[in-house]
Amino acid sequence: MTFTKRNDALNVNGDTVNGVRADIAITTHGSDWYWAVTAVMIVATMAFMGLATTKPRQHRIFHYITASITLVASIAYFSMGSNLGWTPIDVEFQRSDHVVSGFNREIFYVRYIDWFITTPLLLLDLLLTAGMPWPTVMYVILIDEVMIVTGLVGALVSSSYKWGYFVFGCAALFYIIYVLGFEARKHANALGKDVGQAFLYCGALTTFLWTLYPIAWGVCEGGNIISPDSEAVFYGILDLLAKPVFGALLLFGHRNIDPARLGLHIHDYDEKDAFVSDKRPGHNGVNNGLTTGNGVANGHNSATNGHNGVGNGVVSSGADANTVPGNTDSNTIHGPSTTTTAHATV
Ligand code: RET
């Protein structure tokens, strides 16, 4: 039996969509490359999930977020490798260079669906690492969604008005970079040297890579300067660095950081319910699970106070805290004085 190497995607899923043929489209080389990236994304997802199983459940939050990012990307790249998830759009600039000559260009909208899901997760990875307060996390994510949607709409517009959307998207990116570079960096440093360093590496990589995306957009969907095959390579390399490489770096940075230090107090079934522990003091679990969910806001307290530990914020951040009197020893709360105050306040 002989095996022949064959990528049939372009034959099966042709270059005509809704009756319109895209004359500026990927070739089998582009499709092959997309398949290769799909494979890397799948392997990365399995690796991140495998690593997660080596940790107690309470310590897996960053593994889950990071694995979700590469999982979603695997499906987007599967679509693009299959020559699916695109629509033909009239180009604003008709070029004479044969690789980009024609009237319609394949615009892979599936890319933006991927980014719409994964860029908030990437930001969540970073902003949770920095222990940012949840309103900031939510707002930065909203601005990120604005950036992705403006990129998508701009890519689908044929006229020069596409650049209006592009400008909105770039403004959104500036804001995100500002928050990462200034506010979140300060927060991360306040949480300890190791947290500050993990954030610095991942934040710097993100800032650098994310500024290259609008450049790719400008020469692909925007300006129709480079071919769809080159587009595949340009965005593909960026996505590989921004997802699996970023993810590996982030998880490595987190290897010795307990999420509780970031205000992410998460409890598992083997820890006693804090309601029960309220009645039987001294029997609750390590993390007093009740504090779950207050995580992001907690980080805020600690970082702004400067001198308090992260965990302090937890007990002051909600009614939950009042169910754990007398259990301060088994809490992950650092800094007894604040703990006492917090109990008094709820
Ligand atoms: C667009 C065009 C509009 C202007 C700007 C853009 C930026 C996109 C970015 C995308 C990041 C994607 C990532 C994917 C992960 O794998 C939408 C291209 C500024 C920054 C990190």
Quick check: 125 and 61 in contact, CB under 8 A? no
Q: Which ligand 1 atom is at minimum distance from the Cα of 238?
A: 16
| Whether 59 and 180 share a structural domain | yes
Please report whether residue 268 resides in a domain. no
Measured from the Cα of 112, ligand 1's closest atom is 17
Kindly state whether residues 92 and 237 are assigned to the same domain. yes
State the 10-residue block means of pLDDT for the chain, 346 residues long: 81 94 96 98 98 93 97 98 98 96 97 98 98 97 98 98 98 98 97 96 98 98 98 98 98 93 83 51 43 41 42 40 38 38 33
**Could you tell me if the CB of 68 is within 6 A of ligand 1?**
no
Do 285 and 256 fall within a single domain? Answer: no
pLDDT of the residue at 272: 55
Ligand 1 proximity of 148 Cβ (cutoff 6 Å): yes
pLDDT value for 1: 64
Q: With a 6 A CB cut-off, is 313 part of the ligand 1 pocket?
A: no
Q: What is the pLDDT of residue 44?
A: 98
* Burial of residue 193 (number of CB atoms within 10 Å: 0-12, 13-18, 19+): exposed
- What gap in Å lies between CA 319 and CA 310, rounded to an integer? 18
Sequence-separated (6 or more) residues with CB below 8 Å from residue 204 = none
Same domain, 118 and 185: yes
Cβ–ligand 1 distance for 173 under 6 Å, the answer yes
5 lies in some domain: no
Ligand 1 atom index nearest CA of 216: 18
Element (H, E) at 303: helix 295-305
Q: Within this chain, do residues 51 and 148 fall inside the same structural domain, yes or no?
A: yes
Is 197 within the bounds of a domain? yes
**Into how many domains does the chain fold?**
2
Q: Are residue 190 and residue 322 in the same domain, yes or no? A: no
In a domain, 135, yes or no: yes
Are both 228 and 326 inside the same structural domain?
A: no
Range of the domain at 228: 27-262
Write down the H helix ranges in 82-227.
109-129, 134-156, 162-178, 185-190, 193-217
Mark whether 81 and 229 lie in a shared domain. yes
Amino acid at 110: V
- Residue 3, in any domain of the structure: no
Residues 144 and 228 in one domain: yes
d(CA 147, CA 169): 4
Torsion region of 33: left, alpha or beta (phi above 0 gives left; psi -120 to 50 gives alpha): alpha
Q: What pLDDT is stored for residue 269 in this prediction?
A: 72
Q: Same domain, yes or no, for 206 and 284?
A: no
Do 191 and 316 reside in the same domain of the chain? no
Q: Which residue, among 79, 189, 171, has the nearest Cα to 131 in the 3D structure?
A: 189
Domain limit, last residue, from 203, 238, 262 = 262
Asked if 121 and 192 sit in the same domain, the reply is yes
Tell me whether residue 96 is in a domain. Answer: yes
Residue from 44, 30, 116, 29 nearest 74 by CA: 44
Task: Indicate the residue among 262, 292, 327 that finishes a domain.
Answer: 262
Residue 289 resides in a domain? yes
Q: The domain spanning residue 122 has which CATH number?
A: 1.20.1070.10
Question: Closest Cα partner for 104 from 33, 27, 17, 164?
Answer: 17
pTM of the model: 0.81
Ligand 1 pocket member 169 (CB < 6 A): yes
Q: Which of 192, 227, 262 is the last residue of a domain?
A: 262
CA 262/CA 36 separation, integer angstroms: 36
Is 158 a member of any domain?
yes
For the chain, give percent helix, strand, coil, nearest 5: 65, 5, 30
